[in-house]
Structure 1
Amino acid sequence: QETVLFSGTIYDNLLMANPHASFEQVVHACRMAEIHSAIEQLPKGYQTEIGERGVGLSGGQKQRLAIARALIKQPKILIFDEATSSLDSVTAEHFAATINQLKGKVSMLFITHAMPKNLQVDEVVRIGQGTLSAVSADDGAKHEAVGGAHV
């Protein structure tokens, strides 16, 4: 849930995911993570120095950098643990649109208290008090857990 960033430039932090990524790949991932314009507004852009743990950036900016870094890596599975918790509702909706573009290209798992509006998912599993309480398909059909299986 905590974004890991290191002292150095924004660009160097992003390249940690894939040191061989081109600048164009980095920019593309940052656009998808809705952080490119914010980086461009900084005095030195991608060469802006940030402090240990992302000192100097907002919580939402740190989260979007972490998302961009994950996209640069091009993994087979993406796990988002409260990935939108520090984002405002508009940015969270833009993020959902970006994630929707990845559907079918990478497996994704979201762990969240609040799903971003318009996020397209195949299945929603609700867990409450250690019990699987409901499974819903993307079409809105709700399937109650059989026997209250413990998770």
Structure 2
Amino acid sequence: MSSVASRSSLGSSVARAPRLDLVRVPAPSDEEDSYGTARQRILDAIRAVPKGSVAGYGDIARRAGLPGRARLVARVLRDHGDPDLPWHRILRSDGRIAFPDGSPGFREQVKRLRADGVTVTRGRVRMPVADSLDAALWGPDAHA
């Protein structure tokens, strides 16, 4: 039997993360397209995820005006070096922690998420559900 539980097997035993109510980060202009600017926009989007909430790598990329750049978000997280960055609030799109199960990084992320009040079950957080991804992550007025 696989050590990774399917979404259906988690059922209602996993609490959903609360919806976020944040301001969208404006899209970069053509002259802002450098890695340094993209990196800063990603870091700003990560810092905007409040305590008790989570977001996916792709969600952060979209909020930073960089749709389709989830791997860049992962790279920025790997290289950031800021001890105050709430890196632990960023998960895979299905709510799983990206670190290997049981690794030091995995254990640290679980510890930090739980300290934030987020329910973690078998390395997974139940991601918010809404009519749209923007509404799920950034509140019902995300398109306003």
Could you tell me the TM-score, scaled by structure 2's length?
0.27
Structure number with greater CO (CA < 8 Å, separation at least 6) is 2
Greater fraction strand: 1
Could you tell me the TM-score, scaled by structure 1's length?
0.26
